[in-house]
Structures are given as structure tokens and as C-alpha cells.
Amino acid sequence: MAGGRLVWESDSPLATLAAGEALGTLLLPGDLVALSGELGSGKTVLVRGLAAGLGCRADEVHSPSFTLVNEYACRRGGESAPSCRLAHVDLYRIASEAEVPGIGWDEYLAGRFVVAVEWAERAGSLLPGDRLQVALESVSQERRRLSCEGTGRRSAALVQHWWEAVRRRPVP
């Protein structure tokens, strides 16, 4: 861990899911997680974990490749009313940055949602200045390398706290 940057390897999809869950417990409305990586690198698995950590039903989370955005109501700590909302955005089918505002981008960035964006690099300059960037890379059939960087004060702190939470969690 150096500054707001961290690289580690997950040795299974369950470990990637658990890492996402650890991060999800730390996220607040207004946070954006920008995910990049090739098809099959584990982006959606990580988002399922985020959802679980936020109190959403992880089994309902699927890639919004065709719908572009899926929204989930999250209930932390067993609350009956939703405590926050997760917007799971997939920009794989976006051809250019100019198309991004058409999906309600400004609404998602207005601070009412925790936002997880797959293929985030396609949003270009529309990404907020303070975001958590997570690049996933397939190392083997099961193993993934996660490279995480905070681009601002809040996201740099998230990287540090996430790493501490991952280290404390038992490996599935």
C-alpha cells in the first residue's frame, strides 16, 4: 500500500466477492467505483460483493450490459426501509463519452446513489474527480489481480480502509 494505490491478488471468485463485500460496507451515497478490465475479469462479481456489503441482495445483481443501468435498494443493518441505493452502470455498449449523459448520468452522480461503473473508462472526462478506480486483470482461470487507486481524498481513504477490511476478513 502506497498513498492511495493498492495492488493485490484474489485467488478465487469467492475471494473477489468477499473483497467487494468488504468495500461495500465502507461506501456511502456519492461514492463512485470505476471498474475496468476485460470481459470475464470479475467486474460483475466484485459489484455483487459491493451490493452484499451495502445490504442489497447480491443474488439479484447481474450485468446491465443491455439495460446500461440497474438500480438496487440496499438495507444496511437489517433496516426495513432502504438505507441507500446502488446504481450498477455498464458502459460496454456505449460508443462514446457523448452518449453517457443520456443514461441519466448526472442523476446518478448527484449524491443519492452509490455508483459502480463497469467499463468506466468510456465515460472519460465525465467521471468525477474523486473516485475509486479498480482495474481487474485475469491472472489465471480463478485468480484476479486488483489494482485500486483513489483519485481524491475520500477515495484514497477508501483504498486504505478497504485494504484493512480485506486483511481482517477470513478468506472463503
Please report, for the domain that includes residue 40, its CATH number.
3.40.50.300
Write out the DSSP string of 135-161. EEEESSSS-EEEEEEESSHHHHHHHHH
pLDDT at 105 over 80: yes
Distance between CA atoms of residues 118 and 33, nearest Å: 9
pLDDT at 100 over 80: yes
Q: Domains in the chain: how many in total?
A: 1
Q: Which amino acid is at 85?
A: R
pLDDT at 145 over 50: yes
Check: CB of residue 148 under 8 Å from CB of residue 20: no
User: Of 34, 16, 1, 18, which is closest to residue 123 (Cα–Cα)?
Assistant: 34
Q: Is the dihedral of CA 105, 68, 156, 26 positive or negative?
A: positive
pTM, entire model: 0.90
Higher-confidence residue of 169 and 166: namely 166
- Dump pLDDT digits (tens) for 26-72: 999 999 999 999 988 889 999 999 999 999 888 888 887 778 999 99
The domain in which residue 23 lies consists of: 5-168
pLDDT of residue 99: 93
- Dump pLDDT digits (tens) for 9-23: 889 999 999 999 999
Please report, rounded to a whole number, the percentage of residues in the chain having pLDDT higher than 90: 64
